[in-house]
Chains A and B, each alone.
Chain A
Amino acid sequence: MTLNAYHDIELTRSQGAALMGLALGMTDREFPTDLAREDTLDSGIQIEAFLRDVETRAFRIASVSVRDRDEALDIVQDAMISLVRRYARRPSEEWRPLFYRILQNRIRDSQRRRTVRSRVMSFFGGIDGDEYDPVAEAPAPQADNPLDQLVNADAMRALEQALFVLPARQREAFTMRNFEGLDVAQTAIAMGCTQGSVKTHYSRAVHRLRELLEEHGEEYRQ
């Protein structure tokens, strides 16, 4: 079996097998033999490469949505475990939309829990009535060095804060289409909706983000 989906891996089969065995904490005796062993190694090597490829983007996407590093890390770990447990044997080209579907479900669960917590807190008078506007609070990017602005942390912070004020479905469509580079069909699988809905959510997200970020500074202005 070739590693065509993740051909940037430069390992021989025996190196890959040794690494997978180590990663899985197996001894030779525990490891399955013959064809079962080959299959497990192939899918193990491929899925390891896939997870390595998506993990940082998935973490950033989760961070944008839940705005809590530890919560985002937990969400990514849950999504990885769920993908490996349930879909490791599926064709590797299906992993990406499936992984992001799991990730988005975990994000929604986390947001629901947070909403319930905040309702309970507000019931007991723990939350101040003043509305916080994250976009307005974000520091403006420096206007005198556009090339640096493009990659600086302020620009990302402003983008994150703008994304946070979008409706959840628009944010999902934007992060998966734009950040992760899923096509419309893959995004539809990940979001569990039609391709038409994906296009609508994404288009609205782009326009809303442009409005929010144009107000914010020169960085995003055409």
Chain B
Amino acid sequence: MSESNLQTDRDFEKRTKQIFDSSLGEIDAATRSRLTQARHRALQELAPSSAGRAFWNRPFAPAGALAAAVLVAILVLSQREPAIEPGLQAAAPADLEILLGEEELEMLEELEFYAWLEAQPEFASGDAEPSSAGDGVG
């Protein structure tokens, strides 16, 4: 490309840039206001509450799955040990079912309650009938 063509291109580029820059001053107030609102909306993403939302919305699903997987692995490995009580071994498949359910994280948060529940005589004996368990009222 000749020197004069290059210069022509450069002049053209300079003109288009000038025209574009001048056009920015002609953006109406309503559009500017919408842009300001958009900016503020974007900045809300920095707020701790939204960071918290993002944390709970996304990474926790895999984290929950990982926690469940670790617990399952512990249960499976513990079954291989010879000194396991027969009752506990029998309960493992049921535990697995519970852990794979959707409520596993809620259950883990209330482990103390479940331990207490298991320690109750009518629950531990295993002969509490479903109908009588639900008949506390009336």
Which residue numbers of A lie inside 8 Å of B, CB to CB?
Answer: 20, 23-26, 30-32, 40, 43-44, 47-48, 51-52, 55-57, 59-60, 69, 73, 76-77, 80-81, 83-85, 88, 150-153, 155-156, 159, 178-179, 181, 206-207, 209-210, 219-220, 222
Contacts and interface: CB of A to CB of B under 8 A. Distances in A.
B43 interface: yes
A77 B43 CA distance: 11
Contacts of A40: 46, 48
A76 B45 CA distance: 15
Contacts of B24: 56-57, 60
Interface string B40-81: 111111111100001000000000000000000000000000
Given A26-B47, A43-B46, A76-B38, A220 B20 contact: no
B23 A73 contact: no
Contacts of B43: 20, 23-24, 44, 47-48, 51, 84
A76 B22 contact: no
B13 interface: yes
A152 B25 CA distance: 11
Q: Is the interface of A mostly helix, strand, loop or mixed?
A: helix
Contact of B19 (A24, A56, A84, A159): A159
Contacts of A31: 48
Q: Is the interface of B mostly helix, strand, loop or mixed?
A: helix
B19 A156 contact: yes
16 contacts: A23-B43, A25-B47, A26-B47, A30-B47, A30-B48, A40-B46, A51-B42, A51-B43, A60-B27, A80-B38, A80-B41, A81-B41, A88-B46, A151-B22, A159-B16, A159-B20
Given A25-B44, A150-B19, A76 B26 contact: no
Contact of A206 (B13, B22, B41, B54): B13
Q: Which of B9, B11, B19, B32 is packed against the most chain A CB atoms within 10 Å?
A: B19
A210 B12 CA distance: 7
Nearest to A76: B38
Interface residues of B, number: 33
Interface of B: 8-9, 11-13, 15-20, 22-24, 26-27, 31-32, 34-35, 38-49, 54
A24 B41 contact: no
Nearest to B8: A222
A209 B123 CA distance: 83
A131 to B, nearest CB: 26
B92 to A, nearest CB: 42
Contacts of B39: 48, 51-52, 55, 80
